[in-house]
Structure 1
Amino acid sequence: MIFEPGGMATGIGSMPQHDPADALDMIKKYLPEIPHWPQLPQRGREEHFVNQFLKPLVKTGLLVDDGNKTFFDTTKDDWDSRLTEFYTTYLAAEEGDLAALNEFALPVEAAAGFYAFLEDLQKGAGDARMLKGHVVGPISAAFQVKDERGRFAYYDEQLRDLVVKSIASSAAWQGTKLGRFGLPVLIFIDDPALGIYGQSSYITVTREMILEDFSTISQAIHGTGALAGAHSCDAIDWSLLFEAELEVVSFDAYNYFSSLIPFIPSLKSFLSRGGALAWGLIPTTNGRAMDEDADSLLGILDGEWSELTGRGIDRDTLLKQCLITPACGTGLLDPASAERIYQLASQVSQRMRSGKGIR
């Protein structure tokens, strides 16, 4: 399929508010067409990016959470039985058992923003044309937790599989929940740690492993009828995501546009398959958003699109297959800065779509 959002704006996920209602008010004000549920890390450890999506593994007893850190303990006497229980539940969920799928739900105490989003949608979707969710990426998650020996979970085939399948099931649960409102759903796999690929310290992390992990999660998303996207806010090997089973690739267009250039052939193939780019044009670091306005940001985007058209990519395709977003999440900022960023995303999107932006 060809995904043509035509410059609509959305967010990445994290926001600085403590009260979900405040976050939702800001989302509805500035991103009404593709609202997202707000992850609220400043509420505490439970709502931190990785912790949210590891809760199903904690619930099964496979992952230990001692209040300071989470880790796998494969030496526990009941490890094998708990492993069997996990895969039994996973396979049942994959076959469409909703009770099994609900075992991978985000806990209320770890995702206040998600449940507030659902409650708000039950009152009406307003101007929404699509709903957006997100999950942690497999690289970020499996390099966040270790086993009992202090070894990263990603290096253990079994532990990596547990992490990936748990995320995939959580994504499917989200897609199912959001899909009940009768609107298209887009779920991002947010994986800032993708930047480790190709580094000498992580030479055993292969391209095939990453593509396999993303395939497992994207297939789970697609199984619910939702679209799958991926976000990384670093200069990475973008061909990984362009070649994955994704409809959207989200990147920091403000700081790392040049990192796309070596991967123009893969980008062309991605766009020709109908994929869309989410242009993270609104800066989220160092207070830079306060120094920019819609005109200056559209000027940056115009220059970037000129670079791509000069390399054989059609400008109309870029416009049709385009989302506008912040460069990254805003969860660690103050609310005023986050609001400025969302305001700019809205203004840039509106200017583009009114024909007063870039052509």
Structure 2
Amino acid sequence: MNSIIPGNLLTTAMAVMPHTDVDRALDMALSLDVPFWPQLPNYSYYEDMYVQAAEHFPGIVLDMEKRTLRFSAEKFAEELEAALENFDSPAMFDVSETYSAVYHRFLALDLADRPAIRGQLEGPISFGFNILDQDERPIIFDDTVRPFMLDFMAKRLNVQLARLKNRNSNAFMFVDEPGLQFLFSAMAGYGDLKAKGDLDQFFTQVDRPRGIHLCGNPDWDFLLNLDLDVLSLDVYTNAEIFASYAKSIKKFLDRGGVLVWGIVPTGVETFQKEDMPSMLGRLETVWQILWDKGIDRDRMIAGSMLSPATCCLVNPDKELTVERAFAMVNRMAGQLRDKYLA
């Protein structure tokens, strides 16, 4: 691998933030060890993670007034040829200034001294489930659109990663895949075998280092056995379930994978119920279970980062609890580093 994702209990976070003040959001992202460019959907609908991923995607119908993102098969057919002609143009796959208030500002910063930096893009499975065509059908079911979508999103990830690596050679990407937890429900209609094949093929096209972030509870065996360098999860909510996958976790860590343990909740009510000892206790309980099942402690610590558990856009106090959660993650990481790395 050209780049190494740092572990050793450094901190990062998910990029979706409730802020409407761009400077303040960027300051918060930079307050963590591994910063990222924030996505600010409350600032502009362009910053919605699905809208950002849809930039230049043929067939997309974006209505800024109604805040809707749709797909038209007819428009796709009209626009596909031009899109394919531009498939070697990085500009088509990058995030424009219209679609992110902060991405280009982040790229203008001197980030070389950071242990790493991170970018992100909505993943193809979630994008495909979320975007509906003229018949209210998710585009993931369209055998014409889906292969193109996988190629398109891989290209978007690679273009962004190349830009980030110019600022810091240890840059890496999260593929945000909240939709993965629905794959394993009988209702999905797009089964896990099909998804595994598609994701395997997708990741062969995505430059390293790359990984998946999700807040839900998918089939962890499925995820841990994909060819990923990093997996970011909400362990605050899924602690007991995740701890039962020791065999796959061990394999993931043994081949050099990094786990980002999302441990600090960002919702007002949940955050207020916790304090540092309670969250440390919850995390270390999971760790102890895994160590008792034969996972090497030092290897796991070396392959671990900490983050908030989830994003949160709906708090009544807007960004305040989220900012407190970021600060708490830094404090917890400091305490854990003193304990396990001193």
What's the TM-score once normalised by structure 2's chain length?
Answer: 0.91
CA contact (8 A) 1:54 1:166 kept: no
> Cα offset for 1:292?
2.7
Counterparts in 2 of 1:99-248, with a 5 A limit? 100-119=89-108, 121=109, 124-125=110-111, 127-202=113-188, 204-222=189-207, 226-248=208-230
Aligned equivalents of 2:45 and 2:6: distance in 1? Answer: 37
Of stretches 149-158 and 279-288 in structure 1, the one that deviates more from structure 2 is: 279-288
Aligned equivalents of 1:286 and 1:324: distance in 2? Answer: 20
Letter in 2 for 1:200: A
CA contact (8 A) 1:302 1:358 kept: no
Letter in 2 for 1:186: F
Q: What SS does structure 1 have at the residue aligned with 2:322?
A: helix
**C-alpha distance 256-286 of structure 1, shift in aligned 2 (>3 A):** farther
Aligned equivalents of 1:27 and 1:117: distance in 2? Answer: 10
2:298: which partner in 1? 316
2:35: which partner in 1? 35
Counterpart selection for 1:26 from 25, 28, 31: 28
**C-alpha distance 112-217 of structure 1, shift in aligned 2 (>3 A):** farther
**C-alpha distance 221-349 of structure 1, shift in aligned 2 (>3 A):** farther
2:333: which partner in 1? 349
> Cα offset for 1:72?
2.6
Aligned equivalents of 2:103 and 2:194: distance in 1? Answer: 30
Q: What residue ranges of structure 1 are gaps of 5+ in the alignment?
A: 94-99
Q: What SS does structure 2 have at the residue aligned with 1:254?
A: helix
CA contact (8 A) 2:114 2:168 kept: no
Q: What residue ranges of structure 2 are gaps of 5+ in the alignment?
A: none
1:49: which partner in 2? 49
Aligned equivalents of 1:295 and 1:127: distance in 2? Answer: 32
> Cα offset for 1:358?
9.1
Aligned equivalents of 1:109 and 1:336: distance in 2? Answer: 26
Identity %: 26
Aligned equivalents of 1:330 and 1:220: distance in 2? Answer: 31
**C-alpha distance 19-214 of structure 1, shift in aligned 2 (>3 A):** farther
> Cα offset for 1:26?
1.7
Aligned equivalents of 1:220 and 1:50: distance in 2? Answer: 21
Deviations 1:142-174 (A, max 9, x none): 111122222110111222223322222211111
Letter in 2 for 1:335: E
Letter in 2 for 1:63: I
Alignment: residue pair count = 336
Letter in 1 for 2:70: F
> Cα offset for 1:216?
4.7
Deviations 1:93-152 (A, max 9, x none): 3xxxxxx12111212122112122123x1xx22751101111112222111112222211
> Cα offset for 1:238?
1.0
CA contact (8 A) 1:41 1:332 kept: no
CA contact (8 A) 2:234 2:262 kept: yes
What's the TM-score once normalised by structure 1's chain length?
Answer: 0.87
**C-alpha distance 162-332 of structure 1, shift in aligned 2 (>3 A):** farther
**C-alpha distance 126-88 of structure 1, shift in aligned 2 (>3 A):** closer
Deviations 1:159-197 (A, max 9, x none): 222332222221111101111114311100111111112
Q: What SS does structure 2 have at the residue aligned with 1:109?
A: coil
> Cα offset for 1:301?
1.3
CA contact (8 A) 1:137 1:189 kept: yes
CA RMSD between the two structures = 2.2
CA contact (8 A) 2:12 2:305 kept: yes
Aligned equivalents of 1:284 and 1:161: distance in 2? Answer: 36
Deviations 1:273-310 (A, max 9, x none): 11111100111235322333333222211111111112
Aligned equivalents of 1:39 and 1:346: distance in 2? Answer: 21
CA contact (8 A) 2:116 2:172 kept: yes
CA contact (8 A) 2:210 2:228 kept: yes
